Structure 1
Amino acid sequence: MGRIGELDLPERLAPYAPAWATQLLFALFCATAGVVARVLVDLFAPGAGPFALGYPAVLVAALFGRWQAGALAALLVLAHTWYFLLPPVHSFYPKGPNDGSRLLVIVIAYLIMIAVAETFRRAVRRAAAERDRQIAERDLFLEEFDHRVKNNFALVAALLDMQRRRAGESETAEALASALARVESIARAHRHLYRGTAAPGEVDMAVYIRELCSALEEALFLRGAITLDCAADHAALPRDRAVSIGLVINELVTNAAKHAFGDRVDGSIKVAFEARAAGWRLIVADNGAGISPVAIAKRRGGGLGQRLIEGFVRQARGTIRTESGPEGTIVTVGLEA
C-alpha cells in the first residue's frame, strides 16, 4: 500500500497485454464502477448530481491507467449521463437550454482533472526512478564496503594465524588462537548483516549461532567422542548485540572444550538460544567434571577469560548465572528484550 501512487497498470501488465488494451479495459472498469455507484445513489436520491460520480472514475482511471484511460473513462461517463440521466432520457438530442453549457463546464473540469492526474503521475514516476537510482548506488557502496571489510577481517585472521603457528605450543600460541577465534566470530556476524531474512543492520541469530557452532566444532576438533550440539530460535538482533552473544558462546564453548573433560575422551557440550516472553536465554552446558576449585579461585580473582565473558554479557544487556557440579556445568545468560 505504501507505493500505490507508483502503480502504472499499462507498465505492470505489459508482459500480458499491450498498453492500449489495458487502458481500454481499465477505463471500462472505472466507468462501470461510476455507473454502479450512480444506480445505488439513485435508490436514495434520484437524479442528484448527475455528473458528480464521474469525477472519481475519471481521476482513478487517469492516475493508474495514464491520461488515455482517463479520457476514455470521461467520455463513457459523460455519454451515460447524457443518454440515461438527463431528460429526455434515452436520447442524445439536445436537452434543456442550460444543459449544453453545463456539459461544457463538466468537460473542462474533466480535462483539468486528467491533466492534474497525469502531471502528478509523472512526478511520482520521476521521484520513484530517482529513489531507485539512489538505492542502487547505496547498494553498490554497501557491497564495496562489505567486500573491503571482509578482506580486512581475512587479513587480520591470517596474521594472527601465522603468528600462532610461529609461537608453537606456548601460552602465546594459545592466546593468539583465542584472539583468532574472536576475530572470526565478529567477521561471521558481519557477514550475516548482508544476507538472510533479518532487516538491514540485524543478524538472524538462528543461522548465525549454528554457523558459529559449526566453526567451533571444526576449530576445537570436537568431531571425535566429544560432541557439540546447537539449537537456536530465530531472532533478529542488532549487530552489536549479536557479536557480543557470539563472543560469549565462543568463550564458553572454548573453556568447556579445554577444561571440562580433563582426560576423558567422550562428552558433550550443548548450546541453546531460546526466545522467551521477556527476551532471550542463552544456555551453554557440558557434562564434564564440573568447575575445579582452582578454576573457581581464578573466577573470584577475576581472570582474563572471566572478565571477557562478563564484559561481553554486559554489552549484550544480559545477566549470567553459573551452576556446576559433578555432572557438569550449566551457564545461563538471560538477555532482555
Structure 2
Amino acid sequence: MAAATIPIAAIAVNNAWSAFRAAGAAGLRDAVILREVAAARHGAAMEGLREILTNLARSRYLLALPADACDQHLRHLRELAPDRYSNFWLLDGEGRLLCSGLPARRGDYFAELDYVREIRQSKRFVLGQFTLGLVSGRAVLPAAAPVLDEAGQLQAIVGGSLFLDFFLRGGQATPNGDQNDVWLLDADGSVLPLGSARAEALPPREDLPQMLAAQEMSLVGTARGGTPYAWSMAVLDPGLRVLAGVSLAQAKQGAWLTFARRLLELSLFLAACLVAILIGVELGVSRPLRRLVARVREWAPGRIYEADPQAQGPYEVRELDQALVGAARALREREAALTHALHQRDLLMAEIHHRVKNNLQVVASLLNLQADRLRNPSAQAEFAVARDRVQALATLHRHLYLHQSFERISMRPFLDELSRQLGDALGAGPDSGVRIDIDTEDLEMGSDQAISLALLLTEAVSNAMRHGFPEGRAGRILISLHVEGDTAHLVVEDDGVGLDDAADGNSDGLGMRLIEGFAGHLGGEAEITGEQGTRIAVRFPLHRRDIEASARDGA
C-alpha cells in the first residue's frame, strides 16, 4: 500500500517544489516588468529625440537658413520642452559649429567629441556618453544624426541633448520602491542611477560586460552589497541601456514559507489518502482476493472448478474467478487430449520397435543363411559375429516395446536374455563346460547407452567364447554391472587362457577396437587385461537426467 502512494507523493513534492520555484521566479518576473516600465518611459524620450534629429537631418532645410535664422529655429525647437531638451545644434561635416539653440560661438571645433567621430564613420543616428553640456553646463545625454547629400556623403551633423535630471525626475514615477532599482548605462558602461537606485544593488562588475554584450538579458545572483537580486537589462538604443533590479531577499523567504506550507498541506492530504486507500483496498480487494486464493488452493488438476456464487469485490476479481473457471475447464480438456495423444504415441512407438525388431531378426536370419552357404570357416565366423550384433539390437528393441518405456530399458531382464541368446548362438551352456553368469542391479538405462552397452557385451562375450576357451576348455564368463552414484561400472571377465595365450593375437583385432569404440560412446574408457583370463572393465557416467526427462515426458 505504501508503494501505491509513491506516485502521489512524488506529484505532491513536485507541486510543492514548483510552487517554491514559482515564488522564487516572481522576483525575476518583477525585474523584467520593472525594466519594461522604465524602458517604455525613458525609451519614449529617446525616441522623441531621435525623431526630431532624424527629421531635421532628412529635410536639410537648416543648411539653407542664414546662421541667425538657424539659431532662432533651434532655440524655438528647444523651448518646446525646456525641461527635457538641453539644446539643439548644427555642425558642418568637419565638426565646426554652424548654429545653436543656446548662445555659442560659431566656428568652434567639436570634431573630437565621441558622437562626432562615430557619426562620421557610421553615418547614422548615434548616442554619446553621459557628459556635461559644453554650452548648458549641465549633465546631458547627447545624440546626433547625419545630414547626407544626394551621393550619401556627410554634409552636416544635427545634434541634440537630453537633460539627465529629466530621467531622474521621470524615475520618481517609476514603480521602484525600497526593493527595486533602475539604472541607465551608456555605450561606455557609465551608470546613471534613477531615483533611489543604490550602487550596492548593481550586478557584480565581472557580470556587467556580459550583460552589455547582449541585446536583452535577465540574471539572478548576488549584488555587490551581498543581497540576492534579480536583474534585467534591455537596449533603448545602441548606445543606451536600461537596467532594472529587484531584491530577492523577501521573495526567497516567502518562497520557502510557501514551500513549507505546501509540503505540510500535501503531507496531511497524503496521510488521509493513505488511510482511505488502505481501508478501501482491504474491503474491496484484499478480502475478495484472499477468498479466491483459498478456493484456488483447494482445487487440484482433474477436479471441477466452479465459480463462487457468492463472489464479491471488484469487477476485476469476479472476472478473474470466471477466467479461472475457464482455465480449469481448458486444462481438463487439454489433459484429456494429451492423454489420448500419449496413448496413440505409445501404440505407435510400440509398433515401430516391434517392426524394427522383426526387421533386425530377418537380417540376422539372412546372415545366418548366408553363413551356412559359405565353406570358409573364417568367413562363417565373421557372418556369425555380424548376426550376433544384429540379434542383440533386435533383443533390445523387443524389450523396449514389451516394457512400453521406449526411451529407457530395465537392464536386469535384458542382460539375462542377451546372455542366454549369446550362449545359444556361441554354444555356451552346461554341455560345453562354459557358463555365463550375470551380476547386476535392477537399474534403468537410456536406449542410446543401452545400445552401446549391448554391442559391447556382444563383442566381449563373443571374443571370450571364441578365443578364451580353445579345444573344449571349460570355464566361466561373468557379466557385472553396478552403479556408484552417477557412475556405472561394467565388468566382463572370464577365466580362459587370456589375451597373451590367445591363438590369433586377438588383442589387436577388430573386436577389441569395437569394444574400445563402444566404451568411448558410453562416455568411458575400456581397461583390458589378459594375464589370468581376460578382463574388460568400463566406467562411464549414467545419464540419469536423460532417463528422468524421458520418464517425465512419457508421463
TM-score normalised by L of structure 2: 0.41
- 1:322–1:332 Cα contact (<8 Å) kept: yes
1: CA distance, partners of 2:422 / 2:523:
24
2: CA distance, partners of 1:54 / 1:277:
47
> In structure 1, what residue type is equivalent to 2:370?
Q
Distance 1:122 1:220, change over 3 A: same
2: CA distance, partners of 1:292 / 1:59:
72
Q: Which residue of 2 aligns with 1:34?
A: none
Quick check: 1:145 aligned with 2:384?
no
Quick check: 1:159 aligned with 2:366?
yes
Among candidates 503, 506, 511, match of residue 305 of structure 1: 511
> Which has more radius of gyration?
2
Q: What whole-Å deviation, never above 9, does each CA across 1:178-218 have from its counterpart, x for those lacking one? A: 11000011122223333549x64223223322221121122
Q: Which residue of 2 aligns with 1:210?
A: 416
Q: Which residue of 2 aligns with 1:257?
A: 465
Q: Which residue of 2 aligns with 1:288?
A: 496
Map 1:60-139 → 2, pairs under 5 A: 64-67=303-306, 70-71=308-309, 74=310, 106=313, 112=319, 114-139=321-346
Quick check: 1:332 aligned with 2:540?
no
RMSD of the TM alignment (CA)? 3.1
Q: Which residue of 2 aligns with 1:45?
A: none
- 2:500–2:530 Cα contact (<8 Å) kept: no
Q: CA deviation at 1:272?
A: 0.7
Bigger shift: residues 244-253 or 111-120:
111-120
- 1:201–1:238 Cα contact (<8 Å) kept: yes
Distance 1:293 1:121, change over 3 A: closer
1: CA distance, partners of 2:340 / 2:486:
41
Q: What whole-Å deviation, never above 9, does each CA across 1:254-280 have from its counterpart, x for those lacking one? A: 121122222344211111112124612
Map 1:50-65 → 2, pairs under 5 A: 52=288, 54-57=291-294, 64-65=303-304
Q: Which residue of 2 aligns with 1:15?
A: none
Q: CA deviation at 1:117?
A: 3.2
Structure 2 residue matching 1:270: 3-state secondary structure: strand
1: CA distance, partners of 2:474 / 2:344:
53
Q: Which residue of 1 aligns with 2:435?
A: 227
Q: What whole-Å deviation, never above 9, does each CA across 1:221-276 have from its counterpart, x for those lacking one? A: 22222211111123433323221221121111112112222234421111111212
Q: CA deviation at 1:61?
A: 7.0
Q: Which residue of 1 aligns with 2:476?
A: 268
Q: Which residue of 2 aligns with 1:188?
A: 395
Tell me, which stretches of 5 or more residues in structure 2 are unaligned? Answer: 1-281, 543-555
- 1:210–1:232 Cα contact (<8 Å) kept: no
1: CA distance, partners of 2:530 / 2:501:
11
1: CA distance, partners of 2:407 / 2:391:
19
Distance 1:108 1:283, change over 3 A: closer
Q: What whole-Å deviation, never above 9, does each CA across 1:34-60 have from its counterpart, x for those lacking one? A: xxxxxxxxxxxxxx8596454445556
Q: CA deviation at 1:112?
A: 4.6
2: CA distance, partners of 1:251 / 1:282:
14
Q: CA deviation at 1:107?
A: 10
- 2:491–2:538 Cα contact (<8 Å) kept: yes
Q: Which residue of 1 aligns with 2:46?
A: none
2: CA distance, partners of 1:58 / 1:260:
71
Bigger shift: residues 157-166 or 188-197:
188-197
- 1:164–1:172 Cα contact (<8 Å) kept: yes
Distance 1:220 1:277, change over 3 A: same
- 2:357–2:393 Cα contact (<8 Å) kept: no
Quick check: 1:242 aligned with 2:450?
yes
- 1:248–1:313 Cα contact (<8 Å) kept: yes
1: CA distance, partners of 2:377 / 2:461:
21
Distance 1:62 1:151, change over 3 A: closer
Q: Which residue of 2 aligns with 1:323?
A: 529
Q: CA deviation at 1:163?
A: 0.9
Q: What whole-Å deviation, never above 9, does each CA across 1:3-48 have from its counterpart, x for those lacking one? A: xxxxxxxxxxxxxxxxxxxxxxxxxxxxxxxxxxxxxxxxxxxxx8
2: CA distance, partners of 1:230 / 1:211:
10
2: CA distance, partners of 1:186 / 1:284:
19
Distance 1:59 1:180, change over 3 A: closer
Structure 1 residue matching 2:470: 3-state secondary structure: coil
- 1:232–1:273 Cα contact (<8 Å) kept: yes
Distance 1:60 1:170, change over 3 A: closer
2: CA distance, partners of 1:298 / 1:116:
72
Structure 2 residue matching 1:223: 3-state secondary structure: coil
1: CA distance, partners of 2:533 / 2:455:
22
Distance 1:61 1:332, change over 3 A: closer
Distance 1:211 1:118, change over 3 A: same
Alignment size in residue pairs:
254
Distance 1:110 1:61, change over 3 A: farther
The answer to which structure has the higher strand fraction is 2
- 2:456–2:518 Cα contact (<8 Å) kept: yes
